[in-house]
Chain A
Amino acid sequence: MTRRQKAIAFFVALCVLLVAGAISLNVGWIVITAEGASLRVLIFGIITFGLIIAGLIIYTVFLVLEIRRNEEHDTFINAVTHELKTPIASIRLYLETLQSRTLSDEQRREFYDVMLADADRLHRTVDQVLKAGAASQKPKVIARAPVDIGLLTQECVDLALQRHHLQASAIVVESHDDGPLMVRGDADELRSVLTNLLDNAVKYSSESVRVIVGVAAPSPDTVWVRVQDRGVGIPRKQLKRIFRRFYRVQTRGLKQVKGTGLGLYIVRSIARAHGGRVFAQSEGEGRGATFTLELPRLAS
């Protein structure tokens, strides 16, 4: 048992004891006042003890939730430390290598590419942390302009293929409608939603990546972008929780996938700022997952 689990067990036990105490006092009160005293005193006592019991339970629930949240925060700090320090360590390692060793031109170019990729990774992490910070600020002003969601999806898919060094067949785009599907919103924000969903689909795929992206209009005034993978899947209970800040999916068979736990939180807050929503479906562990981004359609 970790220290936190011990703390939770302690407070729950304390709560049970105190509630038991309050209940026995309540019963005692009823027994004593039932003989002779007025009905008003009896009812007043019962309500008072009832309130004390309710207060105790609410207090304990909040305490336990707060301890859990603290724990999530800690894992987040660990994850971000790792995500920030690893690319820095790598860039430093390659710079020192370039500085201290004689290298062929080919090796040199290879090392520059590695460092560029690491700088990009660093930038993505910093960007994500900043975006999550911005997402938790309440009033959200977004630039609104007509965006062709089909085109934007194709663009993000191309970028994802390139970044993860994948064959074109690994991520397939299926468009059902002929005409362009337009939404009103901020193209940069929507791009980061799609990039996040695609990155997750690739990251949580097992050996071979097979992702299907569908762009469709399920009804005249909504647009769907679905990202469907055949990866590790999500347990039913966690389908909602994964959109919470810092939350990382937990399954027994899952090898630790690296990340900050911010991606889907950002996705959800951007979707909401656009008047839409995002939801996940999964048949369970090992059966893949489908993420759907739903946005209001702009009549073209």
Chain B
Amino acid sequence: MSRILVVEDEQHIADGLRFNLEAEGHDVTVAPDGEQALASILDDRRAYDVIVLDVMLPGRDGFAVASTLRAAGQFVPILMLTARGRPEDVLQGFEAGADDYLPKPFELAILFARINGLLRRRLWNEAQTSGNHTTTADTYTFAGRTLDFTAMEVHARGTSYRLTRMECELLRYLVTHPRQPVSRGTLLENVWGLHEETDTRAIDNFIVRLRKYLEDQPDSPRFLQTVRGVGYKFAPEGK
């Protein structure tokens, strides 16, 4: 049984979700706004396996809730469920630290599949960390830094950092194309699966975060280099 927090101010949708998720055998808590959700997670230290988060909430919106959680070091999987489905909204959601994004109206089966995907990922992670890495772990090592794509972690400079799914995917793409400049458009297409003309600057924020994990001096990066006028380049041997 998994504990799911549904943050939704629309009474009807919250009730419908609770009914269906409980019928699927989950333990469901509903928070009607962002403050109560944050209070439940950060102050009461209640552990949830997945958070289903609406964006247009009274007071603090879903984007703010997600980034507050991430800033506080809470890495519980977040599925954003919202009426705002434009590409820039989706990107903003991932930037805020969401792991998945589903626009309303949604199909119940798809919602279940996505929630189960997030739960499964969590289980696999736990199996990985407890199971002594017997399987061939999906890792990559360079310059004393280890990227663990299965556990979604970075080990660098004696510290470990948890990655969100999109940070992980972005890093994986860069690492599999070393020493070649990659444009922001290419990244958006291959990592996010977006083909529309969007504000590709959104990627810059991800790079800034990744540099904080990997670089000794994030302001003068050696491994994740900016290629002026093009995009980025991953250089495993440094500059």
Contacts and interface: CB of A to CB of B under 8 A. Distances in A.
Interface of A: 78, 81-82, 85-90, 92-94, 96-97, 100-101, 114, 117-118, 255-258
Interface residues of B, number: 22
Contacts of B106: 89, 92-93
B16 interface: yes
> What secondary structure prevails in chain B residues at the interface with A?
loop
Contacts of B10: 86, 90
B59 A94 contact: no
Given A256-B58, A256-B59, A86 B83 contact: yes
B83 A89 contact: yes
Contacts of A94: 12, 16
B84 A81 contact: yes
A100 to B, nearest CB: 7
Contacts of B108: 93, 96-97, 100
A81 B83 contact: yes
Interface of B: 10, 12-13, 15-17, 19-20, 23, 33, 56-59, 61, 83-84, 104-108
A255 B36 CA distance: 14
A114 B16 CA distance: 10
B83 A114 contact: no
15 contacts: A85-B83, A85-B104, A88-B105, A89-B13, A90-B10, A90-B16, A93-B20, A93-B108, A94-B12, A101-B20, A114-B15, A114-B16, A118-B12, A256-B58, A257-B58
Contacts of A101: 20, 23
B23 A114 contact: no
Nearest to A255: B58
B197 to A, nearest CB: 16
A204 B82 CA distance: 24
Contacts of B20: 93, 97, 101
Instruction: Name the 9 nearest CB pairs between A and B, nearest first.
Output: A89-B105, A85-B83, A89-B104, A255-B58, A93-B16, A90-B12, A96-B108, A92-B105, A82-B83
A100 B13 CA distance: 17
B84 A78 contact: yes
Given A86-B104, A89-B104, 20 more contacts: A78-B84, A81-B83, A82-B56, A85-B83, A87-B12, A89-B83, A89-B105, A90-B10, A90-B12, A90-B16, A93-B105, A96-B108, A97-B16, A100-B108, A101-B23, A118-B12, A255-B58, A256-B56, A256-B57, A257-B58
Nearest to A118: B12
Given A78-B84, A86-B104, A117-B12, A93 B17 contact: yes
